[in-house]
Amino acid sequence: MALLFLALITTTVTLGQKYLTANIRAKADSILRTYIGDTVFYKYCTYDTNTYYEYKNIFNKSKWQTLTKVKKTKGKFVNIDMRWFLSIPYPKCPAFSKIGGMTSFVLDSLLRPKEKPYLDFIPDFYWNKDSCHLISKEEALAIARQQNLKSGIDSLRAFIQYNTDTKKFTWEVSQTLWSKKDSQNNNYGEDEIVIIDAATGGIESHETQFFSAVY
């Protein structure tokens, strides 16, 4: 009886769909290229070698395997979350001249896409081929210096951030007010931070924050 049960399981899994990994890559690459274009795909797109697929083993248990480790998928193929890194230069926007992030989408058991590639980290001005009309790093630093800053122990730092939900850019200008080492030799201390609307130059917040552990 046990042997018959095992035979039935083995037959079911054996009949499950399997794919050559090269074919999966080709299918997924083709889908992504329709959204970002051949130039961006071939010049500024890097496949994430940690991409995993899900399959069922002979006991119908879910397992995961890195796609690049095999030439053909194992067991009964369930789905795969295909992932790539994008790093696109955009000289039309000096303040945000490098657009980067991870794009991904899931292919089902028949290698059909379950959603569009995630591209929310790419701002609208890129698709519109427009300038971003954002203040520069130097302008952000100048605005922050006008905010009655405290005396810090280092120079002002500034980096720009893009909120994919609100589609809004902000500059974060900060300095360290004081810093010490804990018993594990990790830094802790206090930062002063000014958040600036990168489109209008308006101050969104000005506060101090404690930091601890690894800095």
What pLDDT score was predicted for residue 184? 85
Burial environment of residue 82 by CB neighbours within 10 A (0 to 12, 13 to 18, 19 or more): buried
At 19, list the tokens.
Answer: 């794919």
Secondary structure E strands in the chain? 45-47, 52-56, 62-66, 76-89, 98-107, 157-163, 168-181, 187-197, 203-211
Closest CA to 83 of 54, 117, 114: 117
Under 8 Å between Cβ of 63 and 73: no
Enter the pTM of the model. Answer: 0.83
Question: What is the DSSP secondary structure assignment for residue 67, as one 8-state letter?
Answer: G
Domains and CATH numbers, the chain: 2-127 (no CATH), 137-211 (3.10.450)
What pLDDT score was predicted for residue 69? 78
pLDDT tens digits, residue range 80-127? 999 999 999 999 999 999 999 999 999 999 999 999 999 999 999 999
Under 8 Å between Cβ of 170 and 196: yes
Banded model confidence at residue 214, pLDDT cuts 50, 70, 90: low
Could you give the CA distance from residue 81 to residue 20 in angstroms, rounded to a whole number?
16
Residues of the chain with pLDDT > 90, as a percent, come to 85
Question: What is the DSSP secondary structure assignment for residue 74, as one 8-state letter?
Answer: -
pLDDT tens digits, residue range 11-32? 444 456 889 999 999 999 999 9
pLDDT tens digits, residue range 130-164? 999 999 999 999 999 999 999 999 999 999 999 99
Q: Which backbone phi and psi does 76 adopt, to 5 degrees?
A: -100, 110
pLDDT tens digits, residue range 52-64? 999 999 999 999 9
Under 8 Å between Cβ of 77 and 112: no
